[in-house]
């Protein structure tokens, strides 16, 4: 009861994670929309863009799967933006989604490290995995969970 009357203080790390979520969401959203626009343009004249129309990447991207990828990017962008805003407002649902997104991203990074032989992708996946691990660790810190109402915060009575 006392906490509901008091204003909660948002941890600084939550502010950073929320802002980064919004920025990542905007990148995914714009990338997905750009892909929706680029697929028919590149598909109609691949030679103009020095793309081999017989390549597997071209065939996949200009098929319905390419549009599914673009739609997934748009959806992920919207989810990241909404989650970032929810984190900044201290919404419980945003904490749950942020944890889920970090776990999914960590799993994706781990799979990439195992499967990918390209050193540049490997380095990015390792760094991404470390960042995801730090985010997960931070989201489970007691003061952060208390901010999201996951555990009762300790109220000082002075």
Q: Return the pLDDT at 116.
A: 74
Give the model confidence (pLDDT) of 35-74 as tens digits.
999 999 988 888 888 888 888 888 888 889 999 999 999 9
Question: What are the CA-CA distances from residue 136 to residues 7, 70, 75, 126, 139 (Å)?
Answer: 25, 27, 22, 15, 5
> In this structure, are residues 116 and 125 in contact, taking their beta carbons and an 8 Å threshold?
yes
Hey, where are the domains in the chain? 12-89, 90-152
Q: Return the pLDDT at 152.
A: 63
Question: What are the CA-CA distances from residue 112 to residues 102, 103, 122, 124, 126 (Å)?
Answer: 15, 14, 7, 10, 9
pTM of the model: 0.80
Mean pLDDT, consecutive 10-residue stretches, the chain (158 aa), reads 60 96 96 94 85 84 91 95 96 96 91 78 86 96 92 54
Other beta carbons within 10 angstroms of residue 12's beta carbon come to 8
């Amino acid at each position: 009861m006392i906490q509901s009357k008091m204003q909660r203080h948002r941890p600084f790390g939550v502010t950073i994670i929320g802002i980064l979520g919004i920025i990542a969401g905007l990148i995914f959203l714009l990338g997905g929309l750009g892909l929706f626009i680029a697929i028919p343009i590149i598909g109609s004249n691949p030679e103009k863009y020095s793309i081999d129309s017989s390549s597997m990447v071209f065939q996949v991207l200009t098929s319905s799967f390419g549009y599914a990828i673009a739609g997934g990017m748009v959806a992920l962008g919207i989810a990241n933006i909404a989650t970032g805003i929810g984190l900044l407002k201290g919404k419980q649902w945003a904490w749950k989604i942020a944890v889920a997104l970090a776990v999914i991203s960590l799993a994706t990074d781990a799979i990439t490290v195992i499967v990918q032989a390209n050193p540049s992708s490997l380095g990015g996946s390792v760094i991404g995995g470390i960042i995801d691990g730090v985010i997960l660790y931070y989201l489970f810190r007691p003061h952060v969970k208390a901010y999201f109402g996951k555990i009762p915060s300790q109220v000082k009575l002075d």
